[in-house]
Structure 1
Amino acid sequence: MGGSPVIIAIEGVSCSGKTTLATRLADPFGWQVVPCYYHVAADPGLLGEPLATSEDEQLAALTAHLLVEAERRHRADAALARDGAVILDRSIDTLLAHLTAVGQLQGLDVPATVSRARTLIDQAVSAGTAVVPDLTLLLIATPTALATRGVTRPDVPRLYYDPNFAAHFNQYFADPISPRCMRLDANADPAALLSTARTAISRTAGILAEEA
């Protein structure tokens, strides 16, 4: 892959195929995949409950995730310098997408909470402790596909297979922090999906090279 170094984030609700796509993109080039927050956290129990019941609870969980994000930033920087590209399994946009979706489901004050959350995230980005992807690939799976895949993952909270949660989560990405976001059909032919993703990465690397 030519062009400038590029940070790629793979997004989507649980069981939309993020890990599979990340692996298929990374393996041929020896790129590193930085795991999601749950798998990087020393104690995942500190990340909070998936279904928060208040704005304060949401912001407390966000703060805990941003502590983990600092370690993810460290790993991403090292991989980018070594390999010229790195793949993130979820990004800081996940934190806002989850907050937005849960807020909608719980009837919380979403605009106010998102505004406070964006301030915390912007501070982390400015401090160099959060990663902003150059390109986000958002996998969109149908409610039927998510329900089917969810049967094989009884350990995952049922919230993540709720079609309303997925709709709100995906809707957030109409205006993410990531400067480039491409929606991909998670149910597309795997070879075609991989080809589309690789083309988007190459184009992004080329654009970054031109801007450098």
Structure 2
Amino acid sequence: MIIAIEGVSCTGKSTLAASLAGQFAWQVVPCYYHVAADPAVLGKPLASSEGEQLAALTAHLRIEAERRHQADAALARDGAVILDRSIDTLLAHLTAVGQLQGLDVPTTVARARTLIDEAVTASAAVLPDLTLLLLATPAVLARRGATRPDVSRLYYDPAFASHFNEYFARPLSPHCVQLDANADPAAVLSTALTAISSATSTQIGGA
């Protein structure tokens, strides 16, 4: 099973990933920023044109190929793997930035989807079986963001978060479960475990 953990910055993705990894002894494939040898190649957080957005997507997909390699190795060894963000993040970010910048979102998303579909077909991208989407209120994000000066404010800005989360109404991942990231980490983990158990039962039942 491939489990992706999604959400804007400061929702607790790393905390949940570490908890799940400890619970099951599964590997966590790090996010694009941490896999990239030079994060600068990933582009600016707030692109100003469709060209910039697609160039950044192409750079992320090169990193995604390495993430796919790591995920395949973990799956072969453990039967499951946890992704800190997935290819749905790329489309969600593109959608949110496009909305904020007044760009042609439908056209850009369609072109981005084609590039991502090609990567998936070429076994150069990971498609999750289950996505756990962490959602937090603007007040909670602001409070947590104040303790993370290393994180661009854009990544937890209320308008950005709203557009980012709206994308997940129809993600590429076939199964997306929303988790209340306002809750304490133990409660978030408990809800995540329930979602994983349900998804596992469904897979077994459908096999």
Which TM-score band applies after superposition, normalised by the shorter structure? Answer: over 0.9
Q: Give the TM-score taking structure 2 as reference length.
A: 0.98
Moved more, 110-119 or 202-211: 202-211
Distance 1:133 1:19 in 2: 17
Q: Which runs of 5+ in 2 are unaligned?
A: none
Residues 136-161 of structure 1 deviation map (CA, whole Å, 9 limit, x = unaligned): 00000110111111111111111112
Deviation readout 1:103-135 (Å, 9 max, x if unpaired): 000000000000000000000000000000000
Residues in 2 aligned to 1:174 and 1:70: alpha-carbon distance in whole angstroms: 26
- Give the structure 2 partner of residue 120 of structure 1: 115
The number of residues matched between the two structures is: 207
Residue 18 of structure 2 corresponds to which residue in structure 1?
23
Q: Please say if 1:198 is aligned against 2:193.
A: yes
Out of 49, 56, 72, the residue aligned to residue 54 of structure 1 is 49
State whether structure 2 residue 103 is matched by structure 1 residue 104. Answer: no
Q: Tell me what 1:162 maps to.
A: 157
> What percentage of residue pairs aligned between the two structures are identical?
77
- Partner SS, residue 169 of structure 1: helix
Find the aligned partners of 1:190 and 1:156 in 2 and give their Cα distance: 20
Q: CA RMSD in A?
A: 0.9
2:29–2:81: 8 Å Cα contact kept in structure 1?
yes
SS of the equivalent of 2:11 reads coil
1:35-74 correspondence to structure 2 within 5 Å: 35-74=30-69
User: SS of the counterpart of 2:8?
Assistant: coil
Letter in 1 for 2:39: P
2:154–2:160 Cα contact (<8 Å) kept: yes
Cα distance in 1 for partners of 2:185, 2:37 equals: 33
Unaligned 5+ segments in structure 1 are: 1-5
